[in-house]
Amino acid sequence: MPTLLRVDSSPLYGASVSRQLTETFEATWKATHPGGQVIVRDLTATVMWPITAEWVGAAFTPEDQRNAEQVELLKLSDSLIAELEKADEFVFGVPMHNFGVPASLKLWIDQVVRVGKTFSYGEGGPKGLLAGKKATFLIATGGVYDAGTAMASLNFVEPYLRSVFGFIGVTDTTFLTAGGTAALRYGKDRATFLQPHLEAVQLHAQSA
């Protein structure tokens, strides 16, 4: 039975463009995969803290040597990684915040990019341990940062996510961006703006 992990990081909920895109992806994916399972992780509703020296110490302590406090420190990380391991495919809703990813998504990344769990070190250097999975990133940006535009150099979302997920072995990635969402604050019709983006998401989800 195929499993999809849906991860949302926008704090805007009903007003969020990226959440509307992931909702559409999920609905289309379900229709295409009868009996498939969906795991939903809402990062805005997940309490996460920046990693600490104690967390790092726990992560580098062999599992059979961790004390109760270290086990507790890694509990959330273990749960988030288990979701990644269980899923065959991921879809992420990512609004651009200050040219990068939201703080909640960065905190999540710090919890799941973990030696011995999602990557390892060997004689040939680091090796991603989540190979064979694929990820779709549905990005919403206030401005337009497409390649070739004046603002393209300020888009740190796609290169960062491509690098991070490639590092943990997820190289089958697709990026779909709804650029120019700021126009919605100045009267542009939401349905008209979203229509081509929703259609692109549906088309991709059908083939995913």
Q: Tell me the domain boundaries of the chain.
A: 3-207
Question: What would the pLDDT profile of 116-149 be if each residue is shown by its tens digit?
Answer: 999 999 888 999 999 999 999 999 999 999 988 9
Please state, in angstroms and rounded to a whole number, the distance separating the CA atoms of residues 118 and 130.
6
Question: How high is the pLDDT of residue 201?
Answer: 98
Question: What would the pLDDT profile of 53-82 be if each residue is shown by its tens digit?
Answer: 999 999 999 999 999 999 999 999 999 999
Longest dimension (CA), the chain: 59
Question: How high is the pLDDT of residue 174?
Answer: 98
User: What Å distances lie between residue 64 and 24, 59, 68, 69, 117, CA to CA?
Assistant: 43, 12, 11, 13, 15
Is the distance from CB of 164 to CB of 130 less than 8 angstroms? no
Beta bridge partners of 39: 5
Question: What would the pLDDT profile of 156-167 be if each residue is shown by its tens digit?
Answer: 999 999 999 999
Question: How high is the pLDDT of residue 208?
Answer: 78
Please state, in angstroms and rounded to a whole number, the distance separating the CA atoms of residues 48 and 54.
15
Q: Where are the beta strands (DSSP E) in the chain?
A: 3-8, 37-42, 89-95, 119-122, 125-128, 134-141, 172-179
Question: How high is the pLDDT of residue 24?
Answer: 98
User: What Å distances lie between residue 146 and 1, 10, 101, CA to CA?
Assistant: 36, 21, 16
Is the distance from CB of 76 to CB of 50 less than 8 angstroms? no
The amino acid that residue 120 corresponds to is S
User: What Å distances lie between residue 21 and 9, 13, 25, CA to CA?
Assistant: 12, 12, 6
pLDDT-derived band of residue 207, with 50, 70 and 90 as boundaries? Answer: confident
Is the distance from CB of 111 to CB of 160 less than 8 angstroms? no
Q: Which CATH fold would you assign to the domain 3-207?
A: Rossmann fold (3.40.50)
User: What Å distances lie between residue 33 and 20, 42, 67, 89, 206, CA to CA?
Assistant: 20, 22, 42, 12, 9
